Homo-oligomer: A and B are copies of this chain.
Amino acid sequence: MEETKITARGRATRQRIIEATGEQILAAGIGGTTLDTVRAATLTSKSQLFHYFPGGKSELVREVATWEGQQLLAAQEPFIHDLSTWDSWIQWRAALVEYYLGLGRWACPIGSLATQAALTDPDLEAFFNASMATWRDTLAEGVTKMQAGGHIDRTADPQRIAVVILAAIQGGLVLSQPMRSAWPLEAALDSALEPLHQAAA
């Protein structure tokens, strides 16, 4: 998509639409989010929705996904690109939980979006795969640093540990959502980080 001319005003409107849609999806799911409710929430018109997202709802959802993905990654900075010490891991964990807390809803924007639409939208599935892969690789990188620093067992597979941590996050959120409490997420996450802690201490 080579960018067609877009003014500051236009960009703001577009962004407003994306964020409002993201909130609605988080609160009511993709199915519970209609173009009409988005239109109402953003004080826009149908034509604007299609002006900025010619591909319609599916394109809008994909844009929301990339936006939320950026937010999620940004929230973990700068710690996620360090992770060379146990203390850095602690800070990363705190920042992540803080991010989810700020959403006001115990759900991963990316994860829940994926489980809802990946079945029917191949593009979205690919995006989800890519997101998870880079996230996983970044964590694995941190594990490798810990190994290099001699803090933990060097024979362990960083990729595997990273996957276990991600699974703990996603699964923890699944349980936190109905319980409306952070503790399942924190318990799962801490448990997954335990091996790193044990060895580092």
Q: Which residues of A contact B (CB under 8 A)?
A: 27-32, 107, 111-112, 114-120, 125, 128-129, 132, 160, 163-164, 166-172, 174-175, 177-179, 184-185, 187-188, 191-192, 194-195
A29 touches B172 (CB 8 A): no
Q: How far is the CB of A170 from chain B (nearest CB, A)?
A: 4
A contacts with B: majority SS: helix
A120 touches B28 (CB 8 A): yes
Chain B residues near A167 (CB-CB < 8 A): 167-168, 171-172, 174-175, 184-185, 187-188
Chain B residues near A117 (CB-CB < 8 A): 29
A132 touches B188 (CB 8 A): no
A164 touches B191 (CB 8 A): yes
Chain B residues near A192 (CB-CB < 8 A): 191-192
Question: How long is the Cα–Cα vector from A77 to B3 in the complex, in angstroms?
Answer: 58
A-B pairs, top 10 by smallest CB distance, nearest first, are A171-B171, A167-B171, A167-B188, A170-B171, A170-B174, A164-B191, A167-B172, A29-B119, A31-B31, A129-B178
Give this chain's copy count. Answer: 2
B175 touches A132 (CB 8 A): yes
* Cβ-defined partner of A115 (8 Å) among B27, B28, B112, B128: B112
Given the interface pairs A31-B120, A120-B28, A168-B168, the reply to whether A188 lies near B163 with Cβ below 8 Å is yes
Question: How long is the Cα–Cα vector from A119 to B112 in the complex, in angstroms?
Answer: 11
Chain B residues near A166 (CB-CB < 8 A): 171, 175
B177 touches A174 (CB 8 A): no
Q: How far is the CB of A123 from chain B (nearest CB, A)?
A: 13
Question: How long is the Cα–Cα vector from A58 to B180 in the complex, in angstroms?
Answer: 24
